[in-house]
Structure 1
Amino acid sequence: MGWLRKHCSYVDKNYQIYLDEVLGAKPSGNGYEIMVTGDVNILAEIKCNKPINNGFKFGSAQRNSIIKYIQGLLEGKSKVNFDPTNAYKFLVIYDFGDHTLKAT
């Protein structure tokens, strides 16, 4: 959220609203999404996948899930109430250090 706040004035003006939305997301091992609508539309998928067995590769289910989320960003998702072709889209993978870098 901090990066979005710094780079998108609309997010900065409504920061607390979006922060509350993120903090209200149910915790899960998969992650969550952020949707910003207004002057600028933003769709971000935040993935919290740690490489399998604390290693340096994602497992096949993790890879398939990441691919599914990329397709959802590009093609649109049922939850999104704006045209995804006119939005900034981000896939964010939580940083588990070298494990994440090498797996990505």
Structure 2
Amino acid sequence: MARKSYAENIKSVKLMIDGLRNHKDNLPAGIDEAFIDELEALKNKVETLNSEQEKLKADLKSKTEEFDKQLKLLTDKQSVARKRAKMDYQQSQWREFGIEDKR
């Protein structure tokens, strides 16, 4: 059986909490008001953590885009410097610039 999605789980837990609260007088053994409160507190904590996680995902996406942009600028600048070094210096000096090319 496939796992439920986050949204399906939260919806299911909300329905369970509502059902338990509506039938307080006739709760199954081992389930009392404290149990229902704990269940609701856990649901709230999970919702909070999910919100924080989604924010972190958005921040990561933004930071990754910034990183990719800066990395492209870096490689473009390095390419220009590499071309200039190959044009302006003897092949014997290329290693000083980190250039391993033969020509």
TM-score of the superposed pair, with normalisation by structure 2: 0.29
Structure number with higher helix proportion? 2
Q: Which has the higher contact order (CA 8 A, sep 6+)?
A: 1
TM-score of the superposed pair, with normalisation by structure 1: 0.28
Q: Which has the larger radius of gyration?
A: 2
Structure number with higher strand proportion? 1
